[in-house]
Amino acid sequence: MKLAADLQTFQDRIGYRFNDPALLVQAVTHSSLSSATRPDNQRLEFLGDRVLGLVLAEALLGADPGATEGQLAPRFNALVRKESCAAVAREVGLGEVLKLGRSEMMSGGRRKEALLGDAMEAVIAAVYIDGGFDAARGMILRLWGDRVGRVEADARDAKTALQEWAQARGQVPPVYVEIAREGPDHAPVFTIEVRLAGGESERSSAGAKRQAEQAAAKALLARLEKRDD
């Protein structure tokens, strides 16, 4: 099987060339385009999630031999969560090579967070099946790069931290309000405002509500912590 030019180039971006190109084709095929003769990437996604978890758990243990399980768990979650997988997918241009059905393509599937994250996990599984664990580990560590080293800062969940800040001061949990939704249906931008009972608030915009909520919480928390110093 000969790969199309875009997938040939994609192999260069991930630093791995397939012995069985059909595995890569399956990894980038969304269920909206699957058929009896064209399997989608859902089974590969299931496997890739486990391979990714093992590689990054191993990397975290090696990076900080003295860390406790309580310290490692949030770091691990930050590295393997869907947003992180989607971010890596964007960096290697995975969205550009996805094989999507017409409806999914028209709705902006190449930019969807969950779809990109799932496809990235599927690519990991395809490399694992094609080249073995060492090949998958090498690719993951290359693509995740310095994320392992700086994960401590990324591991903090801003919404949880802000809620803990409020509770420690006897306040009710923060409230998140959708202020605006702009842009076309296939690529919306949400503006979310987080509010505390004391009157403090911050706004942030992103392509997904969860991202906007996290960004707003992070901005408000940073302002509150600076005020408390």
What amino acid positions are annotated as catalytic residues?
A: 49, 121
The helix-helix angle for 82-91 and 133-144 (nearest 10°) equals 80
Smallest CA-to-CA distance from 115 within 126, 127, 101 is with 101
**3-state SS record for 24-90:** HHHHCECHHHCCCCCCCCHHHHHHHHHHHHHHHHHHHHHHCCCCCHHHHHHHHHHHHCHHHHHHHHH
Q: Is 148 left (phi over 0), alpha (psi -120 to 50) or beta?
A: alpha
- Do 206 and 113 meet the contact criterion of CB atoms below 8 Å apart? no
Say which DSSP state 169 is in.
T
- Do 208 and 117 meet the contact criterion of CB atoms below 8 Å apart? no
Alpha-carbon distances of 177 from 210, 213, 215, rounded to whole Å = 12, 9, 13
**Residues in Cβ contact with 77 at an 8 Å cutoff, skipping those fewer than 6 apart:** 155
